[in-house]
Amino acid sequence: MAFEVELKAWVRKAEALKRSLDTKEGLLYVGFEEKEDTYYALEELPLLRIRKEVVNEERSLVVTHKKRSTIDGIEENLEYEFSVDPRQEQAVHAFFTALGYRVAKRKFKRGWRYRQVHTTTTPGLTVELVHLEGLGWFIEVEAMVETQDERRQAREELMAFLASLGIDSSAIESKPYLQLIG
């Protein structure tokens, strides 16, 4: 089972950070991204997310449920997800509505995605500099791992990457975006 190990940190100077990311050795630019997330719930807490995503004009639609946990501000989420043909978006929303789910929240992010390649000593990292509508700028750094040892290693790697950009650990936001957007 795959775990997403992820941190997000507030960014004060997005343009300067973008220049740093663009020139960082070992970091590959993937492209510009836009994400529209719709969260569905049966009662109060959102149970699943439908993400409509466009990266470099390539569209995708992903349905996700996460079992969340946070350790020292870093999320370790067990993810269950699958992709759906983006042309089926309306049918997917209608399906969950028919099952009794209701739209609980929406979230919009835009920004740039990078990838640090997996090596024998480090997990591959996905790095995103994003603007979250209504909140501001964040850097997100994540790794997908399988084992407990890999989870520990990924947490260390995420912190080291953040420090390599000159971002202090005090900028890490431990609350999920859904709590922040209200």
Q: Check pLDDT > 80 for residue 182.
A: no
pLDDT for 44-89, tens place per residue?
A: 778 899 999 999 999 999 999 999 999 888 999 999 999 999 999 9
Confidence (pLDDT) at 93: 97
CB 84 within 8 A of CB 92: yes
pLDDT for 80-134, tens place per residue?
A: 999 999 999 999 999 999 999 999 999 999 999 999 987 655 668 999 999 999 9
159: amino acid identity, one letter: M
Secondary structure element (H or E) that encloses residue 115, with its range = strand 102-116
Beta pairing, strands 27-41 & 46-55: antiparallel
Give CA angle at 144 (79, 24), nearest 5°: 140
Total structural domains within the chain: 1
Burial class (CB in 10 A: 0-12, 13-18, 19+), 75: buried
Nearest to 143 by CA among 132, 153, 129: 153
CB 140 within 8 A of CB 156: no
pTM above 0.85, yes or no: yes
Local structure of 101: helix, strand or coil: coil
CATH number of the domain residue 163 falls in: 2.40.320.10
Please give the mean pLDDT across all residues of the chain: 93
Confidence (pLDDT) at 119: 64
Local structure of 71: helix, strand or coil: strand
The boundaries of the domain holding residue 10 are 3-180
Q: Check pLDDT > 80 for residue 149.
A: yes
SS3 content of the chain, % helix, strand, coil (to 5): 25, 50, 25
Beta bridge partners of 162: none
